[in-house]
Structure 1
């Protein structure tokens, strides 16, 4: 019976990690389904070992080994954060990895209900809060980060695209080298939802390597 319960804890952690990871996989983030699943079930397994195998009636601290998960995931999450010029990527991915590990620890310790609630909260955050943030104008004005070929033709096409789609450019930051041009364009608050719906068109412009709504 004990092994059945421990196996159930690991299985629940696997499912929770897979659900969270699937939300990142669908938008092509570097840490997706497999990464989150492995982290969650791994954290659960370490917690199980910490509370059962490494502790006896005479000695042992049940939280000693499991506590190292927090710092370990911190290092792993830090590796997903990248900064290039004015662009910072990976903060949300690092946060979801950290929460996923916490969920795994919860299931590993046998807190099924509480861990399930946190899993639902995490899913709600990554699925819906982005839309709410855009709707209420969070993080000041909406911004579009464009990476393109460094040419006058490409710059002209990008400028014309914003004008043709009726988008108001409030400010623009430019960073360039011999081959790559990075543009951080800040739009008016009322354009947040509009630009989100037409971003695909911007990505297909000749010379544009990537376009991302910040």
Structure 2
């Protein structure tokens, strides 16, 4: 009987509008993800939006705006667990970050709808679609721009494969040439590469370099006695 006592046609209509709005907008966001064959597709985004709207709407019915505010805080953190489920790490590559962020935004859309902010939910949906659709050409353009080593912040290493007997001499030469080029060495690691060879890996302190200067240094090192091979590598610091 308590259910009949708490039933109000106006409140029910309000809840229906909130959930329907969340369903439609979540479906729109999910359709774009489904079209691109992402892990979290149409149904996932729709369910997240509807679920967030339901929690917020229920909290508003029970405790008004303070209740909705409290539930929204839990929705923001709780959806993070769902987002983590679509992030995949394959070696040094990480996939699914964009999809996880979209899932987070779907929850925000549902929260807006549940809080009776349907207009804000529609605007947010438009921005989510714009980010996932219209920014793609800009991303592709930026990725085609050649990397400028002088401007890029990264960790740079110089690798030298040398005869075991000449290890100390070549290490001193390596440090000397890098210091002369104003590239101080942060550390040098020595790896065994067989019975007679070792690899010296010098990690540079600077986070940006001149590629031509490092090429010249490795070329000079290859001409030193006992050196079989010399090169340099970089990896981004992010």
Q: TM-score, normalised by structure 2?
A: 0.54
Indicate the residue corresponding to 1:27 in structure 2: 36
Could you tell me how far 1:139 is from its partner in structure 2?
8.4
Matched, 1:62 2:68: yes
Unpaired stretches in structure 2, ≥5 consecutive residues: 1-9, 148-238
Q: Distance in 1 between matches of 2:101 and 2:51?
A: 17
Indicate the residue corresponding to 1:177 in structure 2: none
Could you tell me how far 1:140 is from its partner in structure 2?
5.6
Could you tell me how far 1:99 is from its partner in structure 2?
0.4
Indicate the residue corresponding to 1:49 in structure 2: 58
Distance 1:123 1:56, change over 3 A: closer
Q: Distance in 1 between matches of 2:116 and 2:137?
A: 34
Could you tell me how far 1:113 is from its partner in structure 2?
1.1
1:96 to 95, 102, 113: 102
Matched, 1:10 2:16: no
Q: Distance in 1 between matches of 2:122 and 2:102?
A: 15
Q: Distance in 1 between matches of 2:125 and 2:116?
A: 15
Over the aligned positions, Cα root-mean-square deviation in angstroms equals 2.1
Secondary structure of 1:88's match?
Answer: strand
Residues 50 and 66 in structure 1, CA contact (< 8 A), matched pair in contact too = no
Residues 57 and 68 in structure 2, CA contact (< 8 A), matched pair in contact too = no
Unpaired stretches in structure 1, ≥5 consecutive residues: 143-214
Indicate the residue corresponding to 2:131 in structure 1: 125
Indicate the residue corresponding to 2:140 in structure 1: 134
Kindly tell me the number of residue pairs found equivalent between the two proteins: 138
Distance 1:141 1:80, change over 3 A: farther
Distance 1:95 1:115, change over 3 A: same
Q: TM-score, normalised by structure 1?
A: 0.60
Q: Distance in 2 between matches of 1:95 and 1:70?
A: 12
Could you tell me how far 1:61 is from its partner in structure 2?
3.6
Indicate the residue corresponding to 2:122 in structure 1: 116
Indicate the residue corresponding to 2:79 in structure 1: 73
Secondary structure of 2:32's match?
Answer: helix
Larger Rg: 2
Please give the per-residue CA displacement for 1:151-206, whole angstroms capped at 9, x wherever unaligned.
Answer: xxxxxxxxxxxxxxxxxxxxxxxxxxxxxxxxxxxxxxxxxxxxxxxxxxxxxxxx
Distance 1:56 1:33, change over 3 A: closer
Q: How does 1:155-174 map to 2 (within 5 A)?
A: none
Could you tell me how far 1:32 is from its partner in structure 2?
0.2
Indicate the residue corresponding to 2:46 in structure 1: 37
Q: Distance in 2 between matches of 1:39 and 1:25?
A: 15
